[in-house]
Amino acid sequence: MNCVLEKRGDNTLGAVFISKDKMCVLDMNREIAVCNLDGGNLKKVQINKKGLTKIESIFPAPLGRILIHADDCLFMYDLASRKVLNELPIPESSVVKQVQWSQSLSHFVVISSTWIMMVTKSFDVVNTVKEGAKVKSGCFDENNTFVYSTSTHLKYMFSTDCKNTGTFKSIDQPVYVSFFMKN
């Protein structure tokens, strides 16, 4: 029996699903391509945005769209119409680690190592929190409350206009939140 290992993905910085059988890939040249699930390129995507210099990363968005972090902003790009739909300034020199969407896709959070920004789907900023400790992870519950962890605390952030945040409890070891449900 002869086994041959095929190495794939060495030239990829990120990938997100845009439909059930297609994904967008950001390659090492900072170019975006739409691919099949087997990794075969279908087409290169030319991003039509004035002043775009360097794409840092891509993140998931509702079907047929992607979020692109580039040049100190985060913008939603529609792949079918080939245009920027919304844009959000990001604090200068910030690295966006994650983007998490609520189940209803009405809100999303942008997570950096030291801050979290909650935004509506129309890109209105609802809440922003700067943390003293590194932000580890988080998720939305069924009421669109974002529950997240830092290296020292479990915390929450409401999606309402009251801009409330708080702490559930202090922790000794980092916890990575992936699911949260009321008891």
pTM, rounded to two decimals: 0.85
Does residue 80 share a domain with residue 134?
Answer: no
The radius of gyration computed from the CA coordinates of the chain, to the nearest angstrom, equals 18
C-alpha 84/C-alpha 156 separation (Å) is: 31
Does residue 112 share a domain with residue 75?
Answer: no
C-alpha 41/C-alpha 36 separation (Å) is: 7
Does residue 78 share a domain with residue 15?
Answer: yes
pLDDT tens sequence across 30-41: 889 998 887 677
Does residue 108 share a domain with residue 181?
Answer: yes
The parent domain of residue 111 ranges over: 97-183
**Max avg pLDDT among 7-11, 50-54, 144-148:** 144-148
- 54 located within any domain: yes
Contact present, 113 and 97 (Cβ < 8 Å): yes
Contacts (Cβ under 8 Å, ≥6 apart) of 150: 131, 132, 133, 134, 135, 136
- 3 located within any domain: no
